[in-house]
Structure 1
Amino acid sequence: MDDKFKMILSACTEDRSNVIAKGQSAWSRRCGIDLLLKMLLVYINSIGLRHAPESTIYVDEIKNNNMVSNLRDTAEICDAEKATFICLNSYSPNRHIKMGVFWPIFKAVTLVVLSLPRVLSFIGSECTVNDSLARFLIKRMDNYVARIGYQHPFILMTDHHFYSTVIAMNDHATSAVLQHGLIGDARFFSPVRATYFYAWSKKSAVLVNSEKAVDAGTYKFSKLMRLEPKHYVESFADAKRVLLILSSSKTSEQISHRIEPLLNLQNRFGFKLLIKMHPGSLFSINELRDAVSTSDVELYKEEKIEAIDFDFAFIEQSTAALDVACLGTPYIVIDESLDSYFSEYQEMLPTASNPDELLRLTVEFSLTKYMPAYTSFLEQEIDNGQCRIDSLIHRLQNECGSTYGGRYGK
């Protein structure tokens, strides 16, 4: 193995270990069966009359509705019908890159045949990651990217997932990663492996702490800020539909602990309680249903926040605070950590660190009091919805076109 391949393998293995450490540690996950199926899907999606990409290539790797929506919106706004995708999570016959008929079929068949012994040899292994299969799949994706060519930039949802890492660390490909969450856990954004990191704001660009970080904004929030608020409540007593957005709670006990004070509030004020799971939740909708002690609650899993009808929100520390703030809906942050991302906002935003404080803040809530805090929060985190990604991507396209084969910003 040359040094560059060792670096890519090490990066992919590190990312895989982080996924497993989050609780996704089944044998099939450690073996990399899901990665094998993703590569197979890429070949299947690639079957069709071969044509070169006309514009930017968007890499759809993460199964997260919000992130997928942001990637698709970015593609639509920047490249419209010329946008081309590499889809690793779904069958996409129309916008996916087409590589002919014989080549992708041949690659799909040989992928299965050559992967089988690597999978079988991992049976019973206690290793964290199947290195043999990982090496094989890295080479396959690198070969796929080389066949596409390097005339167009790659836009990534992250550069800390397996195949996106392979693309980001390719010396011949120009790439940019879209910030997908608050800059908190460094494992999922540092180091920056792509050519550029398109941050949501000046603050995020500074937190990334990389010369590759650019204050670019995001269409995810600029779109939301253009929507008219559905409701207007001055105090919590005015709320009719209250949304709890879970992100840090992971067990039935933690969920019950979170819900209990809200059920007490529900008995007092008579609102309808709605609960939404985080896209990356490790518990199922059935486990959430079991943890809720009353049937008078609406549960949501995949729905976008803006598609839910609510007029007040309780938010465990997560990006959802930005979604809700952009919609102009009042909210209270629930943050029981001492060193979370939201710690700096505890004296500004309505933030509860325990059930008693949650009850007090809720009863005393005044929108007039906290509106300046919500406005300042949006200014710091997303530059009030400003977005410059369109011009930045077009600049990337010009760079690739004028200096074919090079890599920029390194």
Structure 2
Amino acid sequence: MRHTWRWFGPVDKVSVQDAAQAGSQGIVSALHHVPTGTAWPTDEIRKRQMEIEAGGLTWDIVESIPVSEDIKSGTGDFRAHIAAWQETLRRLHECGIETVCYNFMPVLDWTRTDLRWATRHGARAMRFDLIDFIAFDLHLLKRPDAANDYEPALVEKASERFAAMPEEKRLAISKNVGAGLPGSAEVYSLEDLRGHLKRYAGTDAESLRHRLIDFLSEVAPVAESLGMRLCAHGDDPPWPLLGLPRILSRLEDYEGMLAAVDLHANGVTFCTGSLGARAANDLPAMIRKLAPRIHFLHLRNVTRDDETTPCSFFEDEHLEGNTDMVAVIAAVLEEERRRKAEGRADHQIPMRPDHGQEILDDLTRGAQPGYPAIGRLKGLAELRGIERALSHATYGMK
């Protein structure tokens, strides 16, 4: 695997040099300051490349070119936004960047109720608490008919928790749920969320899936012609939220997407954290099924409170949690050997240690939630150790 590291640009409190010292070989970044729906200026792309190269690494992967709500809802300026997305691909290609990660989650993108939850040993981790989320939906957002989406026992428990919840906690949940994409300055208020939800009135999983396929039918051929790779990140968490469908949560979701636009450029960001929150997902088996079209890996672990879907979970240490990370990496290395034997130029699959717990000096650094320096260094070191052991000429996999 090629070891990469997410960097949010000059505002990031974890530097490119920190990433290099942690063992990263390349950087994952994006131009978060460019408005969604606008083509990225070439000079801004090159500026970010120079900032990264000044720290001793290269800009390997874009994460993400945001897919606008207009595109996902099929409203407003969606055609102009698709054209801007295509043009951004062309400009990235001119600058030598070949891999682009994106997601197709309506409104909320990734969602957590707590961005710095205290673990058993005092580290801080991101957490999705289902009861807190239901309380937010019912009593803060006050979404019409929201109670119909949950089991009566969960509704009762959420109402009881909300009644005892201090105002500070209520405000924190609203802020966390509306936080938007990591690195983005976009934060949704309750009124913003209500307005966006109205845009998706009547949207079910099938109609959202059609919009994804329509989008890919426009952008994947451009990427294919340029020799680029697009990789769709899974839903996080992998189940419907706020009455909105999620369409990249299971193996069959990805298989349908890949078959509908059957181009090598149309691929997968395989996120073990997102997909691992759903107990029924067998991650090593999914990797073996999707292997030829996996263009990027996010490796992190979650511990589920129970085996239901949906459920509460928190982001555990990389080798803890419910996912067998050794089995995951073994499946990845098997695919890399297969690709190398085929002579594929992309036989080395880029990965990054996705998220990390805040530990030691991370607790006072104040970095982007989920993206601390030391917690990710620890995760990368552990993942590299597994890879090195499984790849060893004498003791590793044959």
Pairwise same-fold verdict (TM > 0.5): no
Provide TM-score, normalisation by structure 1: 0.26
Task: Give the TM-score of the pair, scaled to structure 2.
Answer: 0.26
Greater gyration radius: 1
